[in-house]
Chain A
Amino acid sequence: MKPCPDLFGKGLLSAAILLAQLTAFSLEVRLQTRHGGALSGEILRFEDNAVTIGIGTAPPRKEVSVPLDSIQGVDLPTADLMRNPSRVLHLAPLFPYASEALRQGLLEGARHLAGNGLWMECHTWLEALEGVGFTAPERLLLGLTRARALHALGLHTALKTELTRLNGAISPIDAPLALCILNAEARLRDTELEKALYWAQLPALRLPTHVDPYLQDLAECLERQLGAPVCSSRSSLR
């Protein structure tokens, strides 16, 4: 693997960073260009809106620099990537050109990390997917995953921003259960009890009804705090 010339010789730290980056790029990639060409090789580096890949295994191997705007499709082995999710940010420039298979792989990766409770990695992963053209349902799923990650990481301000975005993207009548729970918890945190109750009650109110034990308990607790109409002194005298 040929080192990056502009970083060479700048001391131990630079060498360490270089090594880390090289390790990050040691992934096989398949590129489809706009002109119908197909290239397969190892990613070496990104520079000046171009990606350099090394073709062939034995030295001297050939290095090819491909401008990003001439790429039509990219394929990467996401299973390898998932083993070390922190590398994903380095590869983000390629994701806007992701093939269908890679898109699905990236989605699966987010699901897998969330499913295993690796919220920090999941958050990084989702950051890298910013430029990918997902469908609306996929965007909703990713948004929800991001919100769950932010909640788990305790990043409440960012969570509120994400929830505002998600609430604008889907009608409350169709909001997934997870979104209702996150909204209820965020409102509760801000002591907006009425709004928290709204989100906690929603899944059990709309049709088809969905009774979630956690939300049910929360709603009952909130209703108790907010108080049902009671025959207190003045109202009963009217």
Chain B
Amino acid sequence: MLGRPFSLCLFLLNGLPLCGILPMGDQWRSATVALSNGKAAEAASAFEAFSSWYGEEPAAREPVFQEALLRLWTIAAIGAGQYPKALDLMAAWMPGRSVGDPFHSFFLFQQIRLHLALEQLPEFEDRAAAFLLAYPELPERCLVRWYLAKSALLQENRSMARQQWEAILQDAALPALGRELARGAMALLELHEGQALQAFTVLEGAGEHTPILKRWRTYLAPALTTQLLDAELPELAVEATSWLNPSTAFGLDDEILSAHSPSPSRHSLRNAIWQSHWNQETRHLGSLLGREDPQLLRDYGLRLRALRLAGRFRPVRNLAQALIASRAALPPDLLAMAYREGIEALLAEAQWLTAQAWIDAFIEASPNDPALPAMRLMAARALAGQQDWKCAIRGVESLLHDWPNHPSALTWAFLRGVWLLGDHQPAEALQQLEGLAAKAPDSWRPLIGLQQAKGLHATGQTEAALHLLQLLARDNQVPANIRESAALEELKLRLLLTGPEFDAALRYYRETFPEGRLAAMVETLAGTCHLARGEWEQASRIWQSVAALPIREAAFARQQLIRLLPQRRQWDTLRREVVRWLRLKGPDLLDFPTEALEGAHLYQEKTGSPALPPDLLTDLLGALETGRQGLPPLLCLDLFEGAWPHYDETLGAAETPFATWLEHLASPLNPNPRTRSIARLHLAERLEREGRTDSADALRMGVLQDEPGQPWEPEPAFILARTADRYDFPDAAERLHSFIVRSKSHRRYPDSLFLLANRMMRDARPEDARPLLKLILIDWADSPLALQSTLQLADLHLEAGQPNEAQALLEPLLARRDLEPELIAQALEQRLQAELSLNNLENALLTGIRLLSIYPNFGDICRRSVDRIRSTIGPMGLDPEMASLRDTIEILLLQLE
């Protein structure tokens, strides 16, 4: 390589004895041998000695030799870490070399690296730009860009860094695994920048599952999830939590990156450069990540929280349940967290009773857990969710009593105020809220103010409430969400007052919150206002616009439309809305909502025209055959019947009367068990309407016996459960229970609760009957069954020796004026019993007199009551007044006889 000049100098200088230095040829040889043996520092000092002693020799100044000396010395200096010296040597080597000359690209690349290592950034950028311009075809352009990105980071120029990473990621010359490392580095940069969405996009990739990407995902998932949740992107956060892996120990594995360079030879210089880069970057990025141990608690916490915030409550419940069932294998903190998240999900799903059961289970399992206050608060919230305000208030009061200085005490006191409002105790609520407003931090005041306004309205101070709401809604210092809520509350009050101010308030809301989160609710209020004023067209227009939106309020608006349009006899619009509703698809939408089908049925009844186009009709039949959640099958058959001459062909029964088609469906020859049973149930309903109850029940029992395990939609499920209960089928309780669990919002829900409660009482299980009856009173107080449930519950309380509870139930009942006399008589009998138990003898006697004098027609009740009085209050030892009352009762009884 060195050629003739080297041989010449060896020839000339061979064997010259010099003190401290070898002869010229030997000195040169010792330097090159040291370099080739990888002893860079030794080689560098040998080259330096050679230059110092023989540098001016004519042989050494010969250009070819000089080039070799500078080149080899530079390599030795780089290897020895003498970067400034190496840069000087390269500066001396460069003049006269041009693009494409041997070693030019190599030294240009080395200059870039060394300037960056010495943080000489202007020189670095100059050399990097020169390299990219001169050698755009070399794969090392990726490394140069990588260095440029790092330099940009050093200068805190993050946009430049991002630009460079993007260029790297798009560069085909980058080895695949290197690209994964670049991707991780870029995601890390985005996370540092707080750009969670970009970081997620970089990490998500397009179905790539390389080990490095998986590791990046695992390492970055906790920070990424937290940022995504903060950015209110819970769906993406759920995806990010699926990358968590608590069992992965920390470490970016160097081995993964080995042998990934553009060079086919593992021992080439190019390979060494790339490997050195990967090693260095792996270490560097690893150090940036921070060395956290896998954290089971943190990872599961993030997963549960992300799922809950994304509204995936059932998965939260299932995961929490699995964690609780695995308590032996998990740290105790994780158990508390699983309970907390599970209960939060249950509360969000309004499953109050199950939430309470979970809370009780937690308190029983961990009575001294630090999470106890949080759990007890959840219990109170569960009670509030059931509108059991008194118990909820008691719960929060006990929290305030037990932990008066708890950091959450302010929240508890606030909730007490809110729940007092719910419990129709506005004066106490106002007192609580005013006390709170005086001592709470400023940030709390708007929130408290909002509730105070509700309290003021409830105490009849509507003008004051409106004033406060207006102040809140128009104060720019108040957080936007509270301002918007205040504007909504103001509209609600204005709606009640039905004054012209409603329009002004509505205009203000629309102008101030054009993209408001409560806009749909406000528009619903506007629709209601127009309806109240008889402005049908406006109301209908507003509801049509809300109904088309993919939001919760849309369901309400659609229901309103389905009710409003028939009143206005706008049959064509009704049909259009119904068809539009039935065509809506979405994760939260039922395929065939009952209200829409009812609307279609009504349309057919009124116009005699078919409501459904053929495609929907075919879909409906398919849904009927396969069984679809929420589909009311009997109503579907009613719908078919309503316009049968138009539908028969589409339903594959051309020229066949509906009754024949139905009987054909109900026959044992029909291979589809679902439609067979539905047809039988429909026939049973027809028979019942004709008064042939026994025949109807026989058909229903046939269905029960034929397909015992078939899962049913709510309506037939209830009919079958009722039949099973009536005829004491062994699975009657199970069927009723299953209906209760699955059909909480169905109109037959209270009936099923009542039937099951009665069954429980027949089976001598009053403790199981009581919560069922209570549920009717809480959730379905307006149901006709609520009265009977109250009496039965009072009866159970009396049997259990709880006369106070019985009285608390009976008093509001007896204060009502719309009751049947028999019900009043029964209630009086129970009150008498309670008074006797409490030893309020005078009250008992007065109740007895009321019963006997006003309701003598109910002889059995009267006689039973008198027997109770006789057995408890003997004639002897009474004071004269009581004795007189007792005598009155005896006289009344004689009259009755």
Contact = CB atoms under 8 A, between A and B. Distances in A.
Given A197-B314, A236-B552, A230 B589 contact: yes
Interface residues of A, number: 33
Given A191-B709, A207-B300, A208-B244, A172 B588 contact: no
B586 to A, nearest CB: 10
B322 interface: yes
A219 to B, nearest CB: 9
A231 B552 contact: yes
Given A172-B326, A226-B629, A230-B588, A205 B556 contact: no
A197 B318 contact: yes
Contacts of B321: 172, 198
A13 interface: no
Contact of A174 (B329, B556, B745): B329
B811 interface: no
Interface string A107-127: 000000000000000000000
Contacts of A62: none
Contacts, number: 108
B325 interface: yes
Interface string A190-226: 0101100110011011111101000000000001111
B590 A230 contact: yes
B323 interface: yes
Contacts of B349: 229
Given A172-B322, A232-B745, A225 B590 contact: no
Contact of A233 (B246, B595, B711): B595
A208 B326 contact: no
A191 B630 contact: no
B864 interface: no
A171 B324 CA distance: 9
B454 interface: no
B709 A205 contact: no
Given A191-B711, A206-B319, A225-B711, A231 B556 contact: yes
A171 B224 CA distance: 29
B330 interface: yes
B37 interface: no
Contacts of A191: 709, 711
A136 interface: no
A209 B629 contact: no
A227 interface: yes
A79 to B, nearest CB: 36
A29 to B, nearest CB: 41
Given A225-B629, A225-B711, A231-B588, A205 B315 contact: yes
A235 interface: yes
B2 interface: no
B742 A231 contact: no
B322 A198 contact: yes
B7 to A, nearest CB: 66
B322 A202 contact: yes
A198 B323 CA distance: 12
A10 interface: no
A237 interface: yes
A233 B554 CA distance: 12
Most A C-beta atoms less than 10 A away, residue of B244, B314, B325, B330: B314
Given A173-B322, A236-B556, 6 more contacts: A205-B303, A207-B300, A230-B555, A230-B590, A233-B559, A234-B747
Interface of A: 171-174, 191, 193-194, 197-198, 201-202, 204-209, 211, 223-237
15 contacts: A171-B329, A173-B329, A191-B709, A202-B319, A205-B303, A205-B315, A207-B247, A211-B242, A224-B629, A228-B587, A229-B313, A231-B552, A233-B559, A236-B553, A236-B555
Interface of B: 241-248, 299-300, 303, 307, 313-315, 318-319, 321-323, 325-326, 328-330, 349-350, 552-556, 559, 587-590, 593-595, 629-630, 709, 711, 741-742, 744-747
